[in-house]
Amino acid sequence: PATLDLQAIRAQFPILAERVRGKRLAYLDNAATTQKPEAVLQALDHYYRTSNANVHRAVHELAERATTAYEGARDRIAAFIEAPREQIVFTRGTTEGINLVARSFLQPRIQPGDEVLVTGMEHHSDIVPWQLAGARTVAAPVLDDGSLDFDAWLKLLSPRTKLVAVAQISNSLGTINPIADIIREAHARGIPVLVDGAQGIAHLPVDVKALDVDFYAFSSHKLYGPTGFGVLYAKREHLEAMEPWQGGGDMIRTVAFEGSTWNEVPYKFEAGTPDMAGAIGCAAAIDWLDAIGVEAAAAHEHALLEYGTQRMAEVPGLRIIGTAPHKAGILSFVMDGAHPQDIGSILDMEGVAIRTGHHCTMPLMERFGVPATARASLAIYNGEDDIDQLVAALHKVRRLFG
């Protein structure tokens, strides 16, 4: 793959020039949220300066501009994952997409004792919504290297399994899950599959049609787009069969006190004034990333992951958690004698932004016998200099706590 022009990419992210604690910023908290390129900042600014109006509801010119841009964003986002536009439901993010499926799809279809088969590395947002919907969550075990125990997963599929839910990439370990195999095996047993694409969307090419996935949820803010916006892709047959979960403007066809009828898909799942700027900003982010190419981004991040893995091995007492053979750019680690929170604070003083804690994966922390980890997570604009700054700061932690 072509190597990226890292300087040119970085120059498009104004925030990367910020100094923090008086130091150069090494932003390595990308699994939490990514920074935004000029193209996205300008799209948001342009929308508010030239086109802002409520969509779908007025005949005036600004409303027309807003609606055209907003629905154009749906086309752009749909094309990015090879989906028809009517199957793209706009949400607030991955969390809302999963909750929508839990409420509108799962809840009406389950009996007491029915199960959702998840994995031991799921984010809380791919566990709790199923529980709220009344399902039992059964988790397939995670192997010592952070891979899914696929054979054990297979054995946990049962007639009680009403849905399979799995992260494309683990936000805590970076493990890339075998979603194509999971979908094939689940479908062979008539079980639908939801893929949590929060960590996958910016780091792996996604083709929902080829995958034949039932539901795919992601967040714009992990994809260099604005916060507060996300997407749920779903198969048309599911969207048609599902009842809306929120009522309000735009999701109806007719309203009467005796009862109301619903708009066509996807609009019946989009109650209320939507995040117009969010959709437009997300589409701008996709345009921007697509021009570089997700595959090129992934290759760059993978090379950096290998460099980071090697460099961190030099730090005495440091242990990386999650060494699966199929892994994306996430480095979770613990250090002898230093609490992750202390690591995070010392790194912050050196200009290195990482995350510490349970990363919304408490069962996974339990599995590895740690209360928390420190986590460095990579994006397209990171380079070896960021890793070097991280490793130098880790040696400082070592000196203070070793």
Residues serving a catalytic function are 360
Q: Given the complex with ligand PMP, which of 31 and 318 has the nearer CB atom?
A: 31
- Measured CA to CA, the distance from residue 380 to residue 37 in angstroms comes to 11
Q: Given the complex with ligand PMP, which of 77 and 167 has the nearer CB atom?
A: 167
Residues that bind ligand PMP (CB under 6 A): 31, 93-95, 123, 125-126, 167, 171, 196, 198-199, 219, 360
Q: State the minimum distance, in angstroms, from the CB of residue 245 to ligand PMP.
A: 16
Q: State the minimum distance, in angstroms, from the CB of residue 204 to ligand PMP.
A: 13
Q: Given the complex with ligand PMP, which of 93 and 192 has the nearer CB atom?
A: 93
- Measured CA to CA, the distance from residue 140 to residue 289 in angstroms comes to 33
Q: State the minimum distance, in angstroms, from the CB of residue 329 to ligand PMP.
A: 13
Q: State the minimum distance, in angstroms, from the CB of residue 359 to ligand PMP.
A: 7
Q: Given the complex with ligand PMP, which of 225 and 351 has the nearer CB atom?
A: 225
Q: State the minimum distance, in angstroms, from the CB of residue 214 to ligand PMP.
A: 17
Q: State the minimum distance, in angstroms, from the CB of residue 277 to ligand PMP.
A: 17
Q: Given the complex with ligand PMP, which of 328 and 338 has the nearer CB atom?
A: 328
94, 218 Cβ separation under 8 angstroms: yes
Q: Given the complex with ligand PMP, which of 283 and 328 has the nearer CB atom?
A: 328
Q: State the minimum distance, in angstroms, from the CB of residue 176 to ligand PMP.
A: 12
Secondary structure, 3-state, the chain = CCCCCHHHHHCCCHHHHCEECCEECEECECCCCCCCCHHHHHHHHHHHHHCCCCCCCCCCHHHHHHHHHHHHHHHHHHHHCCCCHHHEEEECCHHHHHHHHHHHHHHHHCCCCCEEEEECCCCHHHCHHHHHCCCEEEEECECCCCCECHHHHHHHCCCCEEEEEEECECCCCCEECCHHHHHHHHHHCCCCEEEECCCCCCCCCCCHHHHCCCEEEEEHHHCCCCCCCEEEEECHHHHHHCCCCCCCCCCEEEEECCEEEECCCCHHHCCCCCCHHHHHHHHHHHHHHHHHCHHHHHHHHHHHHHHHHHHHCCCCCEEEECCCCCECCEEEEEECCECHHHHHHHHHHCCEECEEECCCCHHHHHHHCCCCEEEEECCCCCCHHHHHHHHHHHHHHHHHHC
Tokens 């998840």 sit on residue? 118
Q: Given the complex with ligand PMP, which of 66 and 217 has the nearer CB atom?
A: 217
